[in-house]
Structure 1
């Protein structure tokens, strides 16, 4: 499946790694990064809305969808620093030295790292329904952390999580598509089937992506925190009201990383680009005027 009206490309971004990407529209470039357990299709409605006056670039992240899924012998292939470099290389290959960037879930973590590592490339940054990795680990505690069991499962050393998830991938990935969606009609049957088919072939790389968040990604983020590094561009964060459940102030956590911040709570499920596409499109357009 592809986003209607968009053209599919395969773009080399690193040694032995090419990304599948859908590109549409014309104008100032906006790159949209998907989350778990999805592909670039999650942006189909938002991308169409932005394409009237922007070049919209929607890749499958490395390890997901139709993009390459390299092995991870050193634990760095799925570091968010590596994945962020992919995004910058992709934009440059398509002729854009700078671009606005939005990410959801895992894609938001890649976007966050891109904003820190490549501030001259990322002009505006939108982050949907996620916390920076160190903050995420710090706020999870007690029985409320059970909602994030998958983070702990996929943080385990190679072997066990891949075997457990690979034994019933549709059940595992489908669990999150069902649990995290307030409006089931937001993910039609054909799109859901496409997500599950993509995940079936990507279990090791998806696990490696999550495992990095318990290791190298946390190390990189803590180093930036210690150095006082922050996001210098305008930042919009859109989240569910997690703080009410887990007992923290999401806006305050984000403001420590993003001085030029607009933080909003969105009244929908986790897959907000699919459940509230008009609201998300409007928020991105507002960000681009800052």
Structure 2
């Protein structure tokens, strides 16, 4: 079952969530019903994995996930709490999927990222920044294009394998806006300072003089 998938155990704020991950592409989180586990998806997940990165988990209390203690009002097992925990799972997956260095994120750092990026307000704010980039920021850039330039020196670094490297000539893009541009690709995924701290530091020290 789940050929080509890897098993995972993700430490969340209150317990550990077990599951499997496979495929490539935009993430899809598969949740099971009752009384089942993530195994309910064993015939569907591999087919979805042909187009998506599929994450199938055991909810808290099910399968091989943790069973945190309950309370008199049953809050730890409410659907809202279960859902919040699955947000942590997706944040954890995004950290791994954008990184090329498996140990770039120590457990304490990973937990802090998950904690800070899992609240609904934060998720909304992050999405708002993407929306602004595609609309208002674009309008501002079009207004400034050819009329305003960046006068200070600019250092541009990017992942050697990411979309920026494959879609653009980054230095040429920045030189259309700035008078002095240096930089280059870094052997890392999305998180340059964490995956390639030595190379990133070397670039910064040379740039800062």
Q: Deviations over 1:8-39 (max 9, x none)?
A: xxxxxxxxxxxxxxxxxxxxxxxxxxxxxxxx
Highest RCO, 1 vs 2 (Cα 8 Å, sep ≥ 6): 1
Structure 1 residues 246, 285: closer, same or farther in 2, change over 3 A?
A: closer
- Which residue of structure 2 lines up, in the alignment, with residue 260 of structure 1? 180
Q: 2:169 aligns with which of 232, 249, 255?
A: 249
CA distance in 1, matches of 2:84, 2:135: 22
RMSD: 2.6
Question: TM-score, normalising length from structure 2?
Answer: 0.53
Do the aligned residues in 2 keep the contact of 1:243 with 1:250 (CA within 8 Å)? Answer: no
CA distance in 1, matches of 2:178, 2:85: 41
- Which residue of structure 2 lines up, in the alignment, with residue 287 of structure 1? 207
Radius of gyration: which is bigger? 2
Higher helix share: 1
Q: Deviations over 1:61-105 (max 9, x none)?
A: xxxxxxxxxxxxxxxxxxxxxxxxxxxxxxxxxxxxxxxxxxxxx
- Which residue of structure 1 lines up, in the alignment, with residue 139 of structure 2? 219
Matched, 1:239 2:158: yes
Aligned residue pairs: how many?
126
Matched, 1:178 2:96: yes
CA drift at 1:174:
2.2
- Secondary structure, in 3 states, of the residue corresponding to 1:254? helix
- Which residue of structure 1 lines up, in the alignment, with residue 16 of structure 2? none
Alignment of 1:99-248 (within 5 A): 168-201=86-119, 202-227=122-147, 229-241=148-160, 242=162, 246-248=166-168
List gaps (5 residues or longer) in structure 1: 1-145, 148-164
List gaps (5 residues or longer) in structure 2: 1-50, 53-82
CA distance in 2, matches of 1:209, 1:235: 22
CA distance in 2, matches of 1:218, 1:166: 33
CA distance in 1, matches of 2:128, 2:135: 11
CA distance in 1, matches of 2:124, 2:164: 34
Do the aligned residues in 1 keep the contact of 2:158 with 2:165 (CA within 8 Å)? Answer: no
CA distance in 1, matches of 2:152, 2:164: 28
CA distance in 2, matches of 1:196, 1:183: 18
CA distance in 2, matches of 1:206, 1:200: 11
Question: TM-score, normalising length from structure 1?
Answer: 0.39
